[in-house]
């Protein structure tokens, strides 16, 4: 086992707008861990394809863009080829484009190395769809965060309005259902709980309650590990 592989990982997978981003980010902050927003890498790859006029079905060309993705994460900002695209990558149309390219096996493969490189001392909280199943199957604590479609659409609605983007509840519910179906039905790394993942339904939990639960699970996993 290489030194890199030893740093502990908490994987937090789940559907769109389940609150993963906020929760995973806070867990990472509490533990002083690094944070991987793997969805952002798919969003950045999709944005890069759109900017370069590459069709979202051109698997080879998009994988080539993903392999050398010129991205940088710094103090909550996301950069693509030096441009601050923090707000742009969060837009719904980029999310939809990301979910389309995420079905392409070569694109997923192209992003593996970049994702694994986030595993650094003292540890990593990895947020996505396949963190516990594919990218970090040896994660010390695996969590599958979920919530009802209504709760998720509501959260997404508030986020968009707060940022000054237009939003419509009906469209959001439809978009979430379509995106869930695409994320779950794809053959390459479909969205599903990893074996041994703790399933946490956040429909009726605040973000801090979810954070608290995950920190307790992690503390227990550490105790179990040192008892072995």
Residue 114 vs 221, nearer CB to ligand DC: 114
In the complex, residue closest to ligand DC by CB: 39
Residue 16 vs 141, nearer CB to ligand DC: 16
Shortest separation between residue 166's beta carbon and ligand DC, angstroms: 18
Gap between the Cα atoms of 114 and 162, Å rounded: 31
Shortest separation between residue 220's beta carbon and ligand DC, angstroms: 25
Helix 92-101 vs helix 169-185: angle between axes, to the nearest 10 degrees?
A: 10
- Is the peptide bond between 122 and the residue preceding it cis, with omega within 30 degrees of 0? yes
Residue 93 vs 150, nearer CB to ligand DC: 93
- For the chain, the first-to-last Cα distance in angstroms comes to 18
Gap between the Cα atoms of 124 and 192, Å rounded: 21
Residue 103 vs 205, nearer CB to ligand DC: 103
Residue 163 vs 220, nearer CB to ligand DC: 163
Shortest separation between residue 211's beta carbon and ligand DC, angstroms: 18
Residue 51 vs 219, nearer CB to ligand DC: 51
Gap between the Cα atoms of 7 and 1, Å rounded: 11
Shortest separation between residue 223's beta carbon and ligand DC, angstroms: 29
**CA geometry: angle at 23 spanning 5 and 183, to 5°?**
75
Contacting residues toward ligand DC, per CB under 6 A = 16, 38-39, 42-43, 95, 98-99, 102, 128-130, 179, 183
Q: Which two tokens stand for residue 31?
A: 């533990």
Shortest separation between residue 38's beta carbon and ligand DC, angstroms: 4
Shortest separation between residue 3's beta carbon and ligand DC, angstroms: 24
């Amino acid at each position: 086992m290489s030194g890199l592989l030893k740093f502990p990982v908490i994987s937090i997978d789940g559907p769109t707008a389940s609150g993963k981003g906020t929760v995973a980010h806070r867990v990472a902050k509490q533990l002083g861990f690094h944070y991987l927003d793997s969805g952002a890498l798919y969003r950045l790859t999709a944005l890069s394809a759109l900017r370069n006029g590459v069709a979202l079905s051109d698997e080879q060309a998009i994988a080539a863009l993903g392999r050398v993705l010129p991205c940088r994460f710094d103090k909550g900002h996301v950069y693509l080829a030096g441009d601050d695209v923090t707000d742009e990558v969060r837009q719904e149309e980029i999310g939809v484009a990301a979910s389309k390219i995420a079905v392409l096996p070569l694109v997923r493969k192209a992003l593996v190395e970049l994702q694994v490189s986030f595993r650094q001392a003292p540890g990593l909280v990895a947020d996505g769809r396949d963190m516990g199943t594919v990218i970090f199957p040896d994660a010390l604590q695996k969590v599958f965060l979920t919530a009802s479609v209504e709760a998720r659409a509501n959260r997404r609605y508030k986020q968009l309005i707060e940022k000054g983007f237009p939003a419509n509840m009906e469209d959001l519910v439809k978009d979430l259902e379509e995106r869930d179906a695409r994320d779950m039905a794809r053959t390459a790394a479909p969205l599903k709980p990893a074996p041994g993942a703790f399933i946490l339904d956040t429909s009726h939990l605040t973000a801090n309650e979810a954070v608290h639960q995950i920190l307790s699970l992690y503390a227990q996993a550490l105790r179990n590990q040192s008892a072995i």
